[in-house]
Amino acid sequence: MTIRTSITVNSKETSREVEARTLLVHYLREELSLTGTHVGCDTSNCGACTVLLDGEAVKSCTVLAAQVHDCNITTIEGAAQADGSFSSVQEGFRQEHGLQCGYCTPGMIMASTALLAENPNPSEEEIRHALEGNLCRCTGYEMIVNAVRWAAEHPSFTSGGAK
């Protein structure tokens, strides 16, 4: 069974006839070629596939594309600022070495972005709690915490255009 689904992804209208069972993450990766969103597990534990659904962090491996018809999705490809500058969260990850292999990173950045939208000045403990649905195997997390703190301390960061 197929179904027509229309989703606004990174501020662009998209519309596809997809199998009803198509996961949002596969819609993004395979229909739209937005491969920055990764898959790391099959039990919703790792968070590598985290995207923003109407501003809220969700795991796109656990959402059907058809469920988000008429909704707004932001992926890592849409995380940068309008002028192409890295967002303060992206820049924080760079400044504080918050990534190594980079596989969990898009999900971490999206989850951190959602956290800061809700709580612009989180404590270390609040950051660790907010990111407990996102697993990283490389960093041991301290530098991810530092990255989010960097972003909180530089809310109006701009690198002055596309990098």
**Which spans of this chain sit near other proteins (rule: CB under 8 A)?**
19, 21-22, 26, 29-30, 33-43, 45-46, 48, 75-77, 79-80, 86, 90, 93-95, 97, 99-106, 109, 124, 127-129, 131-145, 163
Cβ proximity of 148 and 115 under 8 Å: yes
- Closest by CA to 125, choosing from 107, 149, 109, is 149
Cβ proximity of 28 and 10 under 8 Å: no
**Residue (54 or 132) nearer to other proteins, CB:** 132
Residue type at 158 in one-letter notation: T
**Residue (77 or 158) nearer to other proteins, CB:** 77
Rounded distance, CA 99 to CA 108, Å? 9
State the minimum distance, in angstroms, from the CB of residue 5 to other proteins. Answer: 16
**Residue (71 or 103) nearer to other proteins, CB:** 103
Rounded distance, CA 125 to CA 128, Å? 5
State the minimum distance, in angstroms, from the CB of residue 133 to other proteins. Answer: 7
State the minimum distance, in angstroms, from the CB of residue 158 to other proteins. Answer: 15
